[in-house]
Amino acid sequence: MMSVRDKFFYFIYLHRTGLTVTLLSTALLLFPFYEDNPYTLGVTNLIAINTIVVLGLNLFIGYAGQISLGHAAFFGLGAYGSAITTGTYGLPPWPSMVLVALLVGLVALLIGIPILRLSGHYLAMATLGFNFVVHSVLLEWDELTGGPSGFSGIPYLGFGDFSFDDEVRLHYLLWGFAMICLLLCLNLVRSGVGRGLSALAEDETAAAALGVNTRNAKIKVFVLSAVMASIAGSLFAHCYAFISPDSFGIFTSTDMVIMVVVGGMGSIWGSLFGAGLITLLPEWIGIFETYKDFVHGGILVIVLMFLPQGLVTGLVDMLKVRLALRRREAR
């Protein structure tokens, strides 16, 4: 019969995911009371936006085993879609955000059907080309997007007279969305759909033999990741009230992939870590801001060489191996 102590630890183990989310949510809820510096909150708010994008991208890369070098395009379409519909045509922000997400999902479906027939480097180049096309349109279509000068005058999100127009309010809004997306992804990867995606990432032929509709699975997760990127883009636009094409170029897509790889491909919690680390590096060390692209590229190479599963996944696996060896020696 289990002792009270054993029952307690078994309960912790059984509900570890829910308890971790609860603790993280509590820490985020109390964070503005501990740190009320607007600049610091601004950085953490950006981490929340990046987390939403990276969570969706990790489903596509880490769980479906595909590659996308163009997710900044969906991020940009969400941002500019919300900016244009609210700033130019006067639609309310919340309905506009939903409408834009649906339209971006439709765009992802239309391009996903043909390009997801590709794989490996060919798929990477196709998504990279899509990002280049979208960035060029945002840059050249001055009359609609503002071109290189950017788009300003984007209204803040809010309810009635209440507006998310300062860093503290934005902290709760953005991290609220991030936590919802985190829970969605955690539940998805533990469902039958998530297990099918994991099988697809390991071996597409074997997954198909086991009854997984690999083509439909890839398209669905691609559309879901695009919708999440669109939502993050809309939040980005309404958070800063100004956007420019530079925020949605090819290097942004590369940074998103680096966040996935550093955090750990196939690790939902690693997505949060990767988004936080890569966002914070330029803030911690000034030289990283000047040579950001070189530093990020170096980090990617080092991680792929020594911890190909990512920092979080790799370190956890190393810890598990050492604990197993110690238990074996103790016997």
In tens, the pLDDT along 251-261 reads: 888 889 889 98
**C-alpha 54: how far from chain center:** 2
Q: How confident is the model at residue 121 (pLDDT cuts 50, 70, 90)?
A: confident
Is it the case that residue 305 has pLDDT exceeding 80? no
Q: What is the pLDDT of residue 150?
A: 87
Instruction: Give yes or no for residue 19 having a pLDDT over 70.
Output: yes
pLDDT band at 176 (very low <50, low <70, confident <90, very high): very high
Count how many Cα atoms sit within 13 Å of the Cα of residue 209 in the half-sphere of its side chain: 5
Any idea where the domains of the chain sit in the sequence?
24-249
Band (222; pLDDT cuts 50, 70, 90)? very high
Of 308, 315, 224, give the one whose Cα is nearest residue 269.
315
Is the pTM higher than 0.85? The answer reads yes
Residue 69: predicted pLDDT: 87
Indicate whether 122 pLDDT > 80: yes
Q: What is the DSSP letter of 109?
A: H
